[in-house]
A = this chain, B = another copy of it.
Amino acid sequence: MNEPSNGPAGPAGLVVGVDSGGSGLRIALADAATGAVLDARASREPVRTGPGGISAAHFLEQVLPAVRALAEPFGGRPVLAAAVGAAGMATLGDELRAGLPGALAEAWGVRRLALAADAVTAYAGALGQRPGAVVAGGTGMIALGTDLAAWRRADGWGHLLGDCGSGAWIGRAGLEAAMRAHDGRRGGSAALLARAEKLFGPVAGLPAALYPRTDRPAVLASFAPEVGHCAPEDPVAADILARAGAHIAEAAGAACPAGPGAVVALTGGLFRMGDPLLVPLRAALGELLPHARTVEPAGDPLAGAVALASALATGTLRLPEDPALLRLFGEGAS
């Protein structure tokens, strides 16, 4: 076990990990040296986004009282480091980067802080500090890999420019196949048309229902499970998932380091679709990444934030800094 390099000689230090996303905020308090989680809290209120990006004030409003309450039973132990993973950190993190280092130093005396894209905390949670690639799949899809010298990102460009193989991609392709069946065009699926009409009503009304919405990717993704249900019997649905599997493997292939010993993990709700997606995906991974072993993710993004904070506190961080993906603040930051 590493002794915290900057730790006081007194009681063992603590670290804080935070995972902030569209469905809310999760906060964990852990032992700095072991990374073992001591206690955790969740809030279902997502941090607001304002003109300056993700609101630092709203973030602190939720996190400071929660950490105070979590740390209370461990009164004498100092918070040595914190790591925050947030969806949109790269593009919407300006306010967090400006406000958090000072605010957390003042509140907890924390001297080391990591601000990470949610894909980085997903990586650290799933694979720890090993070289490899993590695919995070849900409504969207992004692959992030590292050889521990630099990060490589693939896809994650949203439902019009990419997210190939994501929930939105699969659902969109399924609805297109439904419309094709409705029109009598080639490539249609009567099974998907029946599912679409059951879910959304007559499909001629779908454009008017879909296009005015602001959550179009989520609406499209809501149809992805129907494609999964149809795939065992319906060749059009099966083909959609085969193509999705190939696209996901292509992203993993671009993100994963080439050397031997790389590991790949699949995380996120997309992969709960099971065999209809996983069978063709595994085949595509075997073809494109024969040198990489696919492993179960060890933990979730909150576990990844805790692992980052613990590595910071113990001076053992191996994951590379990156201006968009992983920024370090305080002692030892470059």
Contacts and interface: CB of A to CB of B under 8 A. Distances in A.
Interface of A: 91, 152-155, 157-162, 164, 172, 175-176, 179-180, 183-187, 206-208, 210-211, 216, 220, 250-251, 253-255, 288
A255 B180 CA distance: 12
6 closest A-B pairs by CB: A154-B183, A184-B254, A185-B254, A186-B250, A185-B250, A158-B207
Contacts of A175: 160-161
Interface of A, helix, strand, loop or mixed by DSSP: helix
B179 A254 contact: no
How many copies of this chain does the complex contain?
Answer: 2
A187 B164 CA distance: 12
A133 to B, nearest CB: 12
Contact of A160 (B162, B185, B210, B255): B210
Contacts of A208: 91
Given A176-B162, A176-B164, A157 B206 contact: yes
A155 B188 CA distance: 12
Contacts of A159: 160
A23 to B, nearest CB: 20
B155 A254 contact: no
A91 to B, nearest CB: 6
A156 B162 CA distance: 22
Contact of A153 (B162, B183, B207, B210): B183
B176 A161 contact: yes
A112 B159 CA distance: 47
Contact of A155 (B152, B154, B179, B210): B179
B220 A183 contact: no
Nearest to A178: B161
A21 to B, nearest CB: 18
Nearest to A168: B160
A253 B210 CA distance: 26
Contacts of A250: 180, 185-187
A36 to B, nearest CB: 37
Contacts of A164: 176
B183 A251 contact: yes
Contact of A161 (B187, B207, B251): B207
Nearest to A288: B186
A331 B302 CA distance: 72
A160 B220 contact: yes
